[in-house]
Chain A
């Protein structure tokens, strides 16, 4: 991860000068290469600019306006939309639900996917079948999958309550009880993403060179010690990758909730930030469109994800081993 500064310094040490590779002489060749690089970057920049940067800055701009369909973007009202959402009890509830969802979904999915990847890495006879089976949950469309889970959660005929009845647990109204609606979504999400994350981790595990395991064996390490001291550290780039991806994805949960609960759940118990944003924009239940408020909430969500990503990058950099 660190820049190869040492190489430049060593090269320059012979004639007594220190050459900084980031301060190369700016001759014609340098400018030609730089220009060429920009040409290659243009397509990506155009796509990112149109679909990522422009919408982001546009959302920030809209968050400062009281939206008007007839005269967009409407009246400039400064930070009034932010003041409104910060005083809206449903915004804070949505924030709480989002952190609850992320706080459970991300670590549980990651832990399970490490476990699944480890099991799949044990040289199973039907490895490709097992791999495909786990991956199927991820490639199934979310809407179709949520419809199936609706049936599984059915209070009277659902598969889940049927299994619980073996342990003499009373039928749970998963989708109609405010205490269980969000856990129901979490369970579905964990099932959905575990296969995807496990496949990435499995690929990572299979790329770990045998010599490390051989060395551990020579040193007399037990199976668990080898896993903990060799596999997990060398898997850290992949773990780090799925952790970030899963964190960002979890903060943006919407479809699972909307389909599974046909709305924000009883007493809005599963209304997350993205659900709040979409509701504020008037896209649900013929609501009034407060584009400005929706934009303000989405800027806040961006800020939260940004901060978390920075924290993760900083904290995990020390613990991620790339070789």
Chain B
């Protein structure tokens, strides 16, 4: 009996002790690049987090745009003075993956399985879910409803429609409106989408070989090449050229700007999922993830608090709140079935297409030189779409340049 009592007593002491340790106040910094419009909503989520975990204080630190945030993180790595948690793009942290604290190790299998499939590979480093998705947008098809009654569902339909909608309205021998539009230099992701839809990829699975110029790559580049005569090419935002094209592929995050521009131009803008290629109709997800750092300047309590915050932010109710307020998309599957989200979708019909596209998606590869590869794709795709080089020649040239980046 006495032994039992002693054990119970010890257990009680340990429990209270742990509780006492857990309740020790802890403060963490969250470095982000969410501009003023998003900040009140991010603060609201943090306030909710404070209510759920009163012993944790999260300080939101706005670091400017993504470039500035990346610069601050790079400098903080060198200075060994990282925040507990920050927004990061995949390739920023690939070279420093060894100092990331794997959030996935503190998630249940069900929680991990709930993350949208297309987002899992881009958050997994060395087989471990290390970061978690946060603010994510998806590329979708926008179309002028007064010109396009039924959006194209296949590449062939896309080409046919683009051709039919490219017109010289005033008969001066110049095209006044194109069937579609591309921003090749600013958005090489538009090419990566066709590559994915043709079943291709930039590199093979273990990053040892360039697969960009295999048969799928050729099919993709030949298809975009066939669109050139019917495409308006620009490096500016599509909202600045809303009247120049009847339909175009653009990020879901641009919905507000695009709809406003279309309304000002006197037409209604529709949103559709992308036309399917030979392999699928997948689209590319862009946006940042959340990383918790595992460096000596952080205490265990701070790292634990940061993991709790990351997990809190991707809870269905929170990712839904964030999506509704920011225009980004929910990052976990269960969010799409919540009543809150269904109500939102009921009054925002474009969300049906965006949600469907989100569930059929892929993300950027984690290769440490992805930034350089994207640069190659940006220049190469621009040269192809502006007719400086023939599509297949441009593809071979991009493949050769990317090959050099594997060394």
Contact = CB atoms under 8 A, between A and B. Distances in A.
Are A and B genuine complex partners? yes
A79 B383 CA distance: 31
Contacts of B99: 70
Given A263-B186, A263-B235, A266-B185, A285 B77 contact: no
Contacts of A279: 375
A70 B371 contact: no
Nearest to B373: A288
A286 B94 CA distance: 12
Interface in B46-80: 66-67, 70-71, 74, 77-78
Interface in A247-292: 261-268, 279, 282-289
A175 interface: yes
Contact of A265 (B74, B233, B235, B371): B235
Nearest to B89: A286
A287 B375 contact: yes
B294 to A, nearest CB: 12
B360 interface: no
A136 B77 CA distance: 42
B98 interface: yes
Contacts of B372: 287-288
A176 interface: yes
Interface string B90-126: 0110011011000000000000000000000000000
B180 interface: no
A72 to B, nearest CB: 5
Taking each of A90, A178, A262, A279, which has the highest tally of chain B beta carbons within 10 Å of its own beta carbon? A262
A204 B224 CA distance: 59
Contacts of B74: 69, 282, 289
A285 B70 CA distance: 10
B77 A282 contact: no
B252 to A, nearest CB: 19
Interface in A104-154: 154
Interface string B372-392: 101100110011001010000
A263 B77 contact: no
A69 B78 contact: yes
Nearest to B75: A69
Q: Is the interface of A mostly helix, strand, loop or mixed?
A: loop
Indicate the size class of the contact surface on chain A.
20 to 34
Contacts of B70: 282-283, 286, 289
B236 interface: yes
Given A261-B235, A262-B236, A267-B386, A286 B66 contact: yes
Contacts of B236: 175-176, 262
Given A286-B89, A287-B375, A263 B98 contact: no
B291 to A, nearest CB: 14
Contacts of B91: 286, 288
A266 B78 CA distance: 35
A70 B67 contact: no
A283 B67 contact: yes
B118 to A, nearest CB: 19
B77 A284 contact: no
Nearest to B240: A154
Interface residues of B, number: 35
A286 B368 CA distance: 11
B223 to A, nearest CB: 22
Contacts of B374: 285-287
B147 to A, nearest CB: 18
B369 interface: yes
A10 to B, nearest CB: 59
Contacts of B78: 69, 72
A256 to B, nearest CB: 16
A267 B378 contact: no
B77 A286 contact: no
A69 B95 contact: yes
B234 interface: yes
A283 B71 contact: yes
B77 A70 contact: yes
B67 A284 contact: yes
B368 A263 contact: no
Contacts of A175: 235-236
B350 interface: no
Nearest to B67: A283
A268 B379 contact: yes
A286 B185 contact: no
B126 to A, nearest CB: 16
Contacts of A288: 91, 368-372
Contacts of A287: 371-372, 374-375
Contacts of A283: 67, 70-71
A70 B98 contact: yes
A287 B369 CA distance: 8
B23 to A, nearest CB: 35
Interface in A298-322: none
Contacts of A263: 185-186, 235
A70 B235 contact: no
Contacts of A72: 78
A134 to B, nearest CB: 31
Contacts of A284: 67
Contacts of A267: 185, 379, 382-383, 386, 388
B373 to A, nearest CB: 9
A299 B251 CA distance: 39
A72 B80 CA distance: 11
A82 B369 CA distance: 19
A129 B185 CA distance: 44
B257 to A, nearest CB: 14
Contacts of B71: 283
B119 to A, nearest CB: 17
Contacts of B386: 178, 266-267
Contact of B371 (A266, A268, A286): A286
Interface in A59-73: 68-70, 72
Given A176-B233, A176-B236, A286-B89, 5 more contacts: A69-B74, A262-B236, A266-B233, A268-B382, A287-B374
18 contacts: A68-B95, A69-B78, A69-B96, A70-B98, A176-B236, A178-B386, A261-B235, A262-B236, A262-B237, A266-B386, A267-B185, A267-B388, A268-B185, A268-B379, A282-B70, A282-B74, A285-B374, A285-B375
Interface of B: 66-67, 70-71, 74, 77-78, 89, 91-92, 95-96, 98-99, 185-186, 233-237, 240, 368-372, 374-375, 378-379, 382-383, 386, 388
In the complex, the 8 A-B pairs of residues with the closest C-beta atoms, listed nearest first: A288-B371, A287-B371, A69-B77, A288-B372, A286-B89, A283-B67, A72-B78, A176-B234
